[in-house]
């Protein structure tokens, strides 16, 4: 069960992300200052985010290092991440040379497989089913949040946003009220650093997801960025995610990043679970094993 929970911690990059209690780095700004944060108004902040996102239709990270911990238990995974707007992504990971995690999404469904889950099914759910209020999902699935964490999310310029300035922390927050794919109200908060930043320092230092009671769902803190040499897009190099309720922390380092290299043919081969067809699969909406009834209580799916 412990390995299963840590595996879900890895999946949270693709499920949800957010931030609370962000502390800016102290110390002087580096001399090689090359960028300035946008002024603290919603239009300028949204335009900044959209300008960066417009440079990236897809992103592939061929060298993804992940380190997950929970209550002192630590696991390291080497993997690959592919992401394409609006809902295509795939994360695969290995430990000691053996596959341990495969998480993906396309326009129709999402899925996840963790080798140490009990049982190690390929759990899946269609987005159409997920929107039904009676469908219980073991965790909050937020495919749009991975795009935000990678700097690929596009923001609606016509939405009303709240802007909150924290002068003491030297941050500015862009706050959006929205709903999850399951229809639950949440607040998405994008945290900007104010003032000039160094070359590898992020302007956007975090993304936040809070529930209707303002409870922090999880934290995604960006500490270093890299610039794509072809498009000029800013991409996170190091990201730390924390889920307070589950006491899970996940640190990721993205190397070998390529932008806009996924064409339609490659997308068709990456963003499906065909290579997992030899494994047993489980429909989270119907609460049964594909091809036969198998009531499952061990992944937190309540009985009917």
CB contact at 8 A, 273 and 104: yes
pLDDT attached to residue 208: 86
pLDDT attached to residue 120: 87
Could you report how far apart the first and last alpha carbons of the chain are, in Å? 23
CB contact at 8 A, 113 and 123: yes
CB contact at 8 A, 209 and 218: yes
Instruction: Give the torsion sign (CA, 174, 202, 259, 19).
Output: negative
Token pair of 199, please? 């070359």
Contacts of 20 (CB under 8 A, 6+ apart): 208, 210, 216, 219, 244
**What's the helix, strand, coil split of the chain in %, to 5?**
15, 40, 45
pLDDT attached to residue 133: 76
C-alpha 1, offset from chain centre? 23
Phi-psi region of 300 (alpha: psi -120 to 50; beta: other; left: phi over 0): left
pLDDT attached to residue 261: 96
Instruction: Give the torsion sign (CA, 114, 264, 231, 193).
Output: negative
**C-alpha angle with apex 235: 221 to 169, nearest 5 degrees?**
35
With 0-12 / 13-18 / 19 or more C-beta atoms within 10 angstroms meaning exposed / middle / buried, residue 271 is buried
The residue ranges of DSSP E strands in the chain, in sequence order, are: 35-36, 58-70, 73-84, 88-95, 98-105, 109-114, 122-126, 162-166, 171-179, 185-193, 196-197, 204-211, 216-227, 234-243, 248-259, 281-283, 288-289
Instruction: Give the torsion sign (CA, 271, 253, 68, 16).
Output: negative
pLDDT attached to residue 237: 94
Token pair of 147, please? 């795009």
Q: Report how far residue 155's alpha carbon sits from residue 160's, in angstroms, rounded to the nearest whole number.
A: 11
Secondary structure (3-state) at 112: strand
pLDDT attached to residue 300: 37
Secondary structure (3-state) at 96: coil
What CATH number should be reported for the domain whose range is 2-289? 2.50.20.10
Interval 239-293: pLDDT, tens:
888 777 777 788 889 999 999 999 999 999 999 999 999 999 999 888 888 875 5
CB contact at 8 A, 172 and 192: yes
pLDDT digit string (tens) for the chain, length 304 residues:
344 445 555 554 444 333 333 333 344 433 444 578 899 999 999 999 999 999 999 999 999 998 878 777 778 889 999 999 888 989 999 888 889 889 899 999 989 898 887 788 999 999 889 878 777 766 555 666 678 888 999 999 999 999 999 999 999 999 999 887 667 899 999 999 988 888 889 999 999 889 999 999 877 899 999 999 999 999 999 988 877 777 778 888 999 999 999 999 999 999 999 999 999 999 988 888 887 555 444 333 333 3
pLDDT attached to residue 238: 93
């Amino acid at each position: 069960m412990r390995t299963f929970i840590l595996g879900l911690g890895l999946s949270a990059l693709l499920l949800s992300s957010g931030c609370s209690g962000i502390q800016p780095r102290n110390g002087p700004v580096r001399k090689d200052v090359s960028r300035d944060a946008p002024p603290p108004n919603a239009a300028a902040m949204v335009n900044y985010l959209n300008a960066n996102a417009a440079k990236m239709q897809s992103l592939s990270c061929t060298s993804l290092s992940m380190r997950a911990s929970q209550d002192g238990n630590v696991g390291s995974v080497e993997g690959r991440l592919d992401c394409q707007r609006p809902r295509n992504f795939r994360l695969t990971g290995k430990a000691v040379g053996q596959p341990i995690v495969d998480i993906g999404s396309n326009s129709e469904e999402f899925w996840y497989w963790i080798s140490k889950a009990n049982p190690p099914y390929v759990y899946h759910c269609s987005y159409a089913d997920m929107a039904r209020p009676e469908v219980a999902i073991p965790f909050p699935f937020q495919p749009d949040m991975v795009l935000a964490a990678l700097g690929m999310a596009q923001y609606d310029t016509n939405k009303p946003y709240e802007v909150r300035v924290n002068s003491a922390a030297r941050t500015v927050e862009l706050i959006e009220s929205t709903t999850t794919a399951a229809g639950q109200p949440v607040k998405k908060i994008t945290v900007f650093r104010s003032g000039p930043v160094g070359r590898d320092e992020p302007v956007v230092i975090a993304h936040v997801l809070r529930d209707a009671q303002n409870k922090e769902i999880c934290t995604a803190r960006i500490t270093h960025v890299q610039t794509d040499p072809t498009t000029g897009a800013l991409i996170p190099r190091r990201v730390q995610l924390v889920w307070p309720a589950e006491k899970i922390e996940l640190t990721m380092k993205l190397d070998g990043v390529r932008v806009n290299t996924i064409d339609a043919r490659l997308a068709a081969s990456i963003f499906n679970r065909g290579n997992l067809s030899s494994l047993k699969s489980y429909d989270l909406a119907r609460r049964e094993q594909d091809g036969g009834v198998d009531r499952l209580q061990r992944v937190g799916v309540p009985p009917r």
